[in-house]
Homo-oligomer: A and B are copies of this chain.
Amino acid sequence: MVSVNELQSMYENMVTARHYEERLQEEYLEGKQPAFDISAGPIPGELHLAAGHEASGAGVCQHLRDDDTVTAPHRPHHIAIAKGVDLKRMTAEIFGRETGLSKGKGGHMHLFDPEVNFACSGIIAEGCPPAVGAGLAAKKRNTDSVAVAFLGEGAIDQGAFLESLNMASVQNLPVVFVVEDNDWAISMPKHRITDVANGARRADGFDMPGERVDADDAVAVYEAARAAVGRARDRNGPSLLEVQVHRRMGHFMGDPEGYRPDEDKAAAERRDSIERLEADLRGHDVDDETIDDLRDRAHERVEEAIEWAKDQPEPEPADAYEDVFVNPASGVTDSEPSVAETGGDD
């Protein structure tokens, strides 16, 4: 059974994530006015917000430690927050600043925080194999850390995910695959791209337990994840979990969502996992004041991170030549991972 402390912790993560997304949305859109221009404003590039996905990140990561690895997809913020990624440096990264997690090189789809073993990336299902690799490293080193790969329901038809299920299974690795099913892959409804309404059905074909949590319910996710993470930590092998979530915003900021029925969007708003968890908290006799405190603290943290990030300096142009092996103009024999050799493009 979930403890009140854990409920509160999940709640705080979820409220932080929700407020974070809402604030990023403001900051992002503000700069793209009046006609939406993706290359304008304080936050560069694409932005995929996860409002409505919070129960998944919070419920799963509640079972994880810093030495556990998480890989996340293009919609990563709620997971990063629940995993304990440094919020200030993550925000600075999203704003493209020098003190960002990746010094401004990665942006919101490429957040890496080795302190808590978190990474995300922008190609569908791409994080699954590296999660298998983290599980393999844990097994080889005989630690009890685990790895969790998050992906969207649109990603369950991608080879990288399906191959990873088999590899984790045959090598009995401590890996949990978590599918966040928000019913949409950009504009494509789930039923258009797969006949399997319950993605967890795929697990059996790889001799792995699969379970679906059919509501935006942080506590139900928490319970299912307890079993899956526990199984991994006890060296009993991988699991697949599919979690129903909802996408409250467009696929990316600027998405006109012309393909989406109004009722679908309205339903996403009705099924609010945060309200539901609030009710659970009250059911556990947590009073209004405590809940308000948790929420205020979360909001404050978000504001602080955003303020801090916006104050940070931008990288210098020449920083672009650092942190990669660069094919040197002459026979440089340095084999360090970070080399600054090439001086420019002309």
Interface 1/0s, chain A 124-146, versus B by CB < 8 A? 00000000000000000000000
Number of interface residues of A (CB under 8 A): 23
A129 vs chain B, min Cβ distance (A): 11
A244 contacts partner chain B, Cβ-Cβ < 8 Å: no
- Of the candidate stretches A28-36, A74-82, A200-208, the one touching chain B is A200-208
What B residues does A207 contact at CB under 8 A? 194-196, 201
- Of the candidate stretches A60-68, A157-165, A318-326, the one touching chain B is A157-165
User: CA separation between A201 and B204, bound complex, in Å?
Assistant: 7
Interface 1/0s, chain A 200-239, versus B by CB < 8 A? 0111111110000000000000000000000000000000
A193 contacts partner chain B, Cβ-Cβ < 8 Å: yes
Chain A interface, >50% SS class = helix
What B residues does A169 contact at CB under 8 A? 194-195
A251 vs chain B, min Cβ distance (A): 20
A279 contacts partner chain B, Cβ-Cβ < 8 Å: no
- Residue of B whose beta carbon sits closest to that of A163: B159
A169 vs chain B, min Cβ distance (A): 5
A40 contacts partner chain B, Cβ-Cβ < 8 Å: no
Q: How many copies of this chain does the complex contain?
A: 2
What B residues does A163 contact at CB under 8 A? 157-159, 162
What B residues does A205 contact at CB under 8 A? 196, 201-205
What B residues does A167 contact at CB under 8 A? 157
What B residues does A166 contact at CB under 8 A? 157, 193-196
What B residues does A192 contact at CB under 8 A? 170
A190 vs chain B, min Cβ distance (A): 10
What B residues does A194 contact at CB under 8 A? 166, 169-170, 206-207
What B residues does A157 contact at CB under 8 A? 163, 166-167
User: CA separation between A207 and B199, bound complex, in Å?
Assistant: 10
What B residues does A170 contact at CB under 8 A? 192-195
Partner among B162, B201, B204 whose Cβ is within 8 Å of the Cβ of A162: B162
User: CA separation between A170 and B204, bound complex, in Å?
Assistant: 19
What B residues does A201 contact at CB under 8 A? 204-205, 207
What B residues does A193 contact at CB under 8 A? 166, 170
User: CA separation between A166 and B203, bound complex, in Å?
Assistant: 14
- Residue of B whose beta carbon sits closest to that of A240: B205
User: CA separation between A206 and B194, bound complex, in Å?
Assistant: 8
What B residues does A208 contact at CB under 8 A? 195
A191 vs chain B, min Cβ distance (A): 8
A94 vs chain B, min Cβ distance (A): 31
User: CA separation between A192 and B196, bound complex, in Å?
Assistant: 28
Query: Residues of A with Cβ closer than 8 Å to B?
Result: 157-160, 162-163, 166-167, 169-170, 192-196, 201-208
Q: 7 A-B Cβ contacts within 8 A?
A: A159-B163, A162-B163, A166-B193, A166-B194, A170-B194, A170-B195, A196-B205
Smallest CB-CB A-B distances: 5 pairs: A159-B159, A202-B205, A195-B207, A162-B162, A205-B205
Given contact pairs A170-B194, A201-B205, enumerate 19 new A-B contacts (beta carbons under 8 Å).
A157-B166, A159-B162, A159-B163, A162-B162, A162-B163, A166-B193, A166-B194, A166-B196, A194-B206, A194-B207, A195-B207, A195-B208, A196-B205, A196-B206, A201-B204, A201-B207, A202-B205, A202-B206, A204-B205
